[in-house]
């Protein structure tokens, strides 16, 4: 962040003196007006949803929604998804640069050596109902890690932060896979250190003690891309939640648990699950026209899920990668003629050609394709958001650690515009 030579002047029509506010510039993106001193002048800004407010400065991820750009530490997401594995991207997010061969090996060995959970954690899983949503289990179990790994939770100690970061990155896949195993009534499968990060999760989720399980390399690569494409996405609701909770000095496990809870919402991490639910509601290719017309009707509550994005006003750069991956997965599994997938691809074709959607830039987004890929892989809808949380853990950790390294970081304290009742006198109970 650097000072801009320009200033902004805030003028009032009530006789109050104008306020001069400095401008700040980043390396990319829009300039911002520094409003930190506004409170001293007796005024605040009003910005529901923080749609026009920069709550922090960060050098981790940059998004330009108009141009359809997503960079991690300056690297375009397309290049990272093509050439890196997930742990390389996680290292990049956490450390600022891609690792060399020795650094990558050491980092991989550290994460691989920490994938086991404390044995008593299995009892916490068993405290949940068998029909619980996997996200409910993940929120609880990730939060409970603070009761088991409390030897390195001094957030002011960089080494402690690193140890906790490694533990979270290593253990969240095990927790996510075990959440599925628990609700499906299957025995927990323990991590296998000879497998890579994506393969290991697939093993823990799909393997059983009855027979040998060998991850399909095409599916493992597809899953790796899902993780990379969801690793971080700037200051979204869940990332901002992690930062806000972390600003109070809360332990890292509580912060990531809060991020998982935020991600659970259908307007955020639940979007790909909602996309599959929508496809099931449509049911057949012959009904697409009916639902397209409903989506265009403002008086109809139906919304076409998986199209458009709150940030991108162009093609989501992750969607093109996931679209290619989607076809690779359907080909290797021989599912090109599966009714649900034919429905999804027919819907994609119509939406890409229909003037209503094209003019509004309502392109298929990454959730549309990732939902199709995960369903093809045999992952149930209820696990989609849990996998999103697994992927996003790397970004949350990086953002949390960056915040604690910032000397200007303060506890979050948003302001409000009070619209309630003015002062009134108390009336005793017998006189009300």
User: Nearest to residue 24, comparing CAs of 44, 54, 45?
Assistant: 54
- Tokens matching residue 246: 């972390």
Q: Which residues pair with 22 in a beta bridge?
A: 7
Q: What are the residues whose beta carbons fall under 8 Å from the beta carbon of 52, sequence distance 6 or more?
A: none
How far apart are alpha carbons 62 and 235 in whole angstroms? 10
- 268 has catalytic annotation: yes
Cβ atoms of 33 and 3 within 8 Å: the answer is no
Give the residue carrying structure tokens 């790397």: 394
Closest among 259, 361, 264, 239 to 310, alpha carbons compared: 361
Cβ count near 147 (within 10 Å): 13
Catalytic residue among 72, 232, 309, 316: 309
- What does the block give as tokens for 407? 């000397």
User: What are residue 211's DSSP bridge partners?
Assistant: 208
For residues 293 and 309, give the distance between their C-alpha atoms in angstroms, rounded to a whole number: 20
- Indicate if 133 belongs to the active site: no
Whether 300 is catalytic: no
118, 268, 327, 404: which is the annotated catalytic residue?
Answer: 268
Q: Catalytic pick from 85, 232, 316, 367?
A: 367
Please, are residues 176 and 134 in contact by the beta-carbon 8 Å criterion?
yes
DSSP letter string over 71-111?
EETTEEHHHHHHH--HHHHHHHHHHSS---HHHHHHHHHHH
Rounded to an integer, what distance in angstroms lies between the CA atom of residue 368 and that of residue 228? Answer: 16
User: Catalytic residue numbers?
Assistant: 268, 309, 367
């Amino acid at each position: 962040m650097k000072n801009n030579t320009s200033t902004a002047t805030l003028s009032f029509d009530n006789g109050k003196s104008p306020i001069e506010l400095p401008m700040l510039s980043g390396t990319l993106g829009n300039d911002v007006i520094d409003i930190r001193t506004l409170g001293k002048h007796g005024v605040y800004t009003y910005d529901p949803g923080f749609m026009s407010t920069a709550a922090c400065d960060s050098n981790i991820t940059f998004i330009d929604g108009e141009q359809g750009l997503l960079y991690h530490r300056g690297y375009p997401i397309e290049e990272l998804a093509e050439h890196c594995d997930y742990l390389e991207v996680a290292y990049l997010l956490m450390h600022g640069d891609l690792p060399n061969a020795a650094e990558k090996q050491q980092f991989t060995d550290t994460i691989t050596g920490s994938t086991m959970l404390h044995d008593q954690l299995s009892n916490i899983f068993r405290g949940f109902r068998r029909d619980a949503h996997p996200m409910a289990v993940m929120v609880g179990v990730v939060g409970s890690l603070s009761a088991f790994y409390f030897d390195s939770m001094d957030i002011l100690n960089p080494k402690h932060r690193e140890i906790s970061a490694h533990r979270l990155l290593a253990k969240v896949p095990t927790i996510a896979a075990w959440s599925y195993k628990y609700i499906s009534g299957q025995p927990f499968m323990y991590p296998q250190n000879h497998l890579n990060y994506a393969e290991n999760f697939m093993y823990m989720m799909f393997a059983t003690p009855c027979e040998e399980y060998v991850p399909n390399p095409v599916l493992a690569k597809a899953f790796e891309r899902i993780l990379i494409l969801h690793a971080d996405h700037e200051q979204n609701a869940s990332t901002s939640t992690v930062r806000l909770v972390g600003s109070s000095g809360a332990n890292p496990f509580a912060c990531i648990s809060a991020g998982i809870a935020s991600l659970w919402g259908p307007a955020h991490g639940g979007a790909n699950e909602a996309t599959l639910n929508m496809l099931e509601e449509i049911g057949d290719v012959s009904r697409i026209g009916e639902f397209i017309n409903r989506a265009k009707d403002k008086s109809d509550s139906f919304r076409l899920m998986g199209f458009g994005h709150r940030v991108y006003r162009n093609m989501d750069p992750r969607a093109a990668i996931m679209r290619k991956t989607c076809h690779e997965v359907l080909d290797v599994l021989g599912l090109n003629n599966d009714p649900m997938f034919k429905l999804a691809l027919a819907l994609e074709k119509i939406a890409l050609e229909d003037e209503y959607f094209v003019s509004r830039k309502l392109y298929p987004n990454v959730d549309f394709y990732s939902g199709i890929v995960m369903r093809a892989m045999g992952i149930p809808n209820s696990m989609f958001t849990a996998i999103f949380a697994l992927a996003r853990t790397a970004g949350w950790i990086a953002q949390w650690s960056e915040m604690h390294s910032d000397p200007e970081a303060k506890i979050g304290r948003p302001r409000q515009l009070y619209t309630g009742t003015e002062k009134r006198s108390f009336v005793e109970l017998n006189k009300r």
